[in-house]
Structure formats: C-alpha cells, structure tokens
C-alpha cells in the first residue's frame, strides 16, 4: 500500500503567487514525522520543513509552511510569494517509529516569470 501520495505530477505557478503542494499519508502508528524535500535540477536533496505527529501547531520555516490536518492525514506544503528559484521537484516523506523514510512520487513545480 502506498504510504505517501502526491497527486500533482506537475504544477505551474506565476511568480509571487502562493502555491500549495498536496501530500496525503497512511499510517496506524501514532508517532511519526512528516518531511518535505526540494530537489532542484542540480540533483541534491534539500530538507525544507518537518512536522511531528504530536505537534499542535503547523510548522513554518521562512516562506515554507506545512498545513497539517491530522484527521485527514494530509501534510500539504505551502510556499508563499513564490520565486523563480523555487522551480524544482518537491518530495513529501514520512518516517514512522523505527522505520525507514518513505517518499512520495514528487511534484514538479515550475514558476513562471
């Protein structure tokens, strides 16, 4: 069964607009962590933001925020005021207790000037 689902293969957004990248997950473990990574065309994997299952508030890191809806099992990434440099692949990932880090299929985000 797919643990992490990203339903948007590609998204196109105008510069300076906000963008939401969708991620849903599946787990029965009450303790887990959710992560977003960015992979630019150069290929490296860059950690963006983390949300713990017990965290009461949504995580924020600069222009990145994570819209965590636990009951719906969703962890959408919101990028405010998008920039051309935000064009990249974005991966959602989850880690359950003592388990491997599992990734979604990714969303390719393109920011248009």
Partner 1 sequence: NAGVMQNPRHLVRRRGQEARLRCSPMKGHSHVYWYRQLPEEGLKFMVYLQKENIIDESGMPKERFSAEFPKEGPSILRIQQVVRGDSAAYFCASSPPTVHTEAFFGQGTRLTVV
Question: What is the closest distance, in whole angstroms, from the C-beta atom of residue 54 to partner 1 in the complex?
Answer: 8
Q: Nearest Cα to 22, choosing from 9, 2, 7?
A: 7
Q: Nearest Cα to 32, choosing from 104, 101, 98, 96?
A: 96
Identify which of residues 47 and 84 has a Cβ nearer to partner 1 in the complex: 47
Q: d(Cα 83, Cα 85) in Å, to the nearest integer?
A: 5
Reported as type and span, the H/E element at residue 37 is strand 32-39
Residues that bind partner 1 (CB under 8 A): 31-33, 35, 37, 43-47, 50, 52, 91, 95-106
Question: What is the closest distance, in whole angstroms, from the C-beta atom of residue 16 to partner 1 in the complex?
Answer: 28
Identify which of residues 37 and 68 has a Cβ nearer to partner 1 in the complex: 37
Question: What is the closest distance, in whole angstroms, from the C-beta atom of residue 39 to partner 1 in the complex?
Answer: 9
Identify which of residues 47 and 80 has a Cβ nearer to partner 1 in the complex: 47
**How distant is the alpha carbon of residue 84 from its chain centre?**
18
């Amino acid at each position: 069964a797919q643990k992490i689902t990203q339903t948007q293969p590609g998204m196109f957004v105008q510069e300076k607009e906000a963008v939401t990248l969708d991620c849903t997950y599946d787990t029965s473990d009450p303790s887990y962590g959710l992560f977003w990574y960015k992979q630019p065309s150069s290929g490296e994997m860059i950690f963006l933001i983390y949300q713990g299952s017990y965290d009461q508030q949504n995580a924020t890191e600069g222009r990145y925020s994570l819209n965590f809806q636990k009951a719906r099992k969703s962890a959408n990434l919101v990028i405010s005021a998008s920039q051309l440099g935000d064009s990249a692949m974005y991966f959602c990932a989850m880690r359950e207790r003592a388990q491997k880090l599992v990734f979604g299929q990714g969303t390719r985000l393109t920011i248009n000037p």
